[in-house]
Amino acid sequence: MAYKIIVDECTNCAACETECPNDAINEKKGTFKIDAANCSECIGYFDEPQCIAACPIPDCIVVDDKVPRYVAA
C-alpha cells in the first residue's frame, strides 16, 4: 500500500520530501502529498519507509488502504 499524508497533522516541514527515494512526495499550494503511483513503500531501498522515519509528527503519514500494496518487479 502506498502511504498518505494526513493534511491536518502535517506541519509542512518538508522532511519527508527529501527522504523519498522515488520522488513520490511533492508540495502543491502549501500541501504535501504522496503520489501513490510512485510510492514503493521504500521496498528494495530501506527497511522502513523513509517518509515515516523522517516525519517529526507521529501518525502524520499512514497507510492508504485505498491503494493496492506495492509489488516489486
pLDDT, tens digit, 9 for 90 and up, residues 5-23: 999 999 999 999 999 999 9
Question: Which helix (H) or strand (E) element contains residue 17?
Answer: helix 15-19
Of the chain, the percentage scoring pLDDT greater than 70 comes to 93
Does the reported pTM lie above 0.85?
A: yes
pLDDT at 48: 94
Q: Which three cell numbers stand for residue 69?
A: 500494496
Q: 53's torsion region: left (phi>0), alpha (psi -120 to 50) or beta?
A: alpha
The segments of the chain whose pLDDT lies below 50 read: none
pLDDT at 11: 96
Domain 3-63 CATH (choose: 3.40.50.1370, 3.40.50.720, 3.40.50.300, 3.30.70.20): 3.30.70.20
pLDDT at 73: 64
